[in-house]
């Protein structure tokens, strides 16, 4: 395959992917037909089938490409060692993740929006949870010795990240910059929400 042909294929696939995302935003995935995608991308149905089996194959390939890129940015081992977290390195990791989301903002806004894919949130949470668990296993070894059950920790972390992501992509949160989000998330995650809002933590009445 020549370079010229390669570029033509990539351009066609880009048009098809952009068409699907635009259609999901407007009418939801289930009501989309292959003809809808072809019309939106200004191609014919035969061209679509040269690249994808059906709309589900197209959605899977698009989602996997974006999410693999996001997971590559979330390099937890860069800032986490047994017994310590390097905050400066943690901010670098956060920046990579948030910049990746900003670069692919339209995709995440659509997929997590009102017409998005219902199980997409669960898919991201599962990927994050698996990545954290794999990292924790390599760093800490026996996870049964942690003070809080590891499954609870993983659920808390992954759902918190997704909740913040949804908020940042909303009209309410979209005014905040990448720099702002990096600093605020670093504070929330390293200090915890109670410390972050300035409350003193009292473990028993004698401390009051």
CATH code of residue 141 = 1.10.357
Answer yes or no: do 131 and 162 share one domain. Answer: yes
Which domain CATH number covers 31?
1.10.10.60
Same domain as 98, residue 33: no
Q: Decide which of 132 and 22 is more confident.
A: 22
Per-residue pLDDT tens over the stretch 18-67: 999 999 999 999 999 999 999 999 999 999 999 999 999 999 999 999 99
Q: Which band of pLDDT confidence, cut at 50, 70 and 90, is reported for residue 205?
A: low
**Is residue 89 located within the same domain as residue 5?**
no
Give the model's pLDDT for residue 44.
Answer: 96
Percent of the chain's residues with pLDDT above 70: 94
Say whether pLDDT at 123 is over 80: yes
Name the domain boundary from 29, 52, 75.
52
Query: 23 and 116 share a domain?
Result: no
Task: Output the pLDDT for position 78.
Answer: 66
For residue range 163-180, list pLDDT tens digits in order.
999 999 999 999 999 999
- Number of domains composing the chain: 2
Paired strand residues for 80: 85
**Domain, as residue range, for 85:** 62-207
Domain membership flag for residue 57: no
Integer CA distances (angstroms), 133 to 68, 125, 205, 206, in order: 17, 12, 36, 37
Q: What is the pTM of this model?
A: 0.85
What pLDDT, on the 0 to 100 scale, is given for residue 206?
58
Q: What is the pLDDT of residue 22?
A: 97
Answer yes or no: do 70 and 109 share one domain.
yes
Q: Is the pLDDT of residue 146 over 90?
A: no
């Amino acid at each position: 395959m020549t370079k010229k042909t390669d570029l033509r294929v990539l351009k066609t696939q880009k048009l098809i992917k952009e068409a699907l995302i635009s259609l999901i935003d407007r009418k939801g995935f289930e009501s989309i037909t292959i003809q809808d995608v072809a019309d939106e991308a200004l191609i014919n149905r035969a061209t679509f089938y040269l690249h994808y089996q059906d709309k589900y194959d197209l959605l899977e390939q698009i989602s996997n490409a974006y999410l693999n890129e996001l997971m590559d940015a979330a390099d937890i081992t860069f800032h986490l060692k047994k017994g310590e977290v390097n905050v400066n390195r943690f901010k670098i990791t956060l920046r990579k993740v948030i910049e990746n989301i900003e670069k692919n903002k339209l995709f995440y806004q659509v997929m997590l929006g009102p017409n998005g894919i219902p199980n997409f949130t669960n898919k991201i949470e599962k990927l994050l949870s698996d990545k954290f668990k794999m990292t924790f296993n390599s760093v800490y070894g026996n996870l049964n010795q942690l003070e809080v059950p590891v499954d609870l920790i993983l659920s808390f972390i992954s759902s918190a990240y997704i909740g913040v992501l949804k908020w940042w992509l909303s009209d309410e949160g979209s005014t905040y910059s990448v720099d702002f989000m990096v600093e605020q998330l670093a504070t929330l995650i390293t200090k915890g929400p109670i410390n972050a809002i300035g409350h003193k933590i009292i473990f028993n009445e004698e401390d009051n």
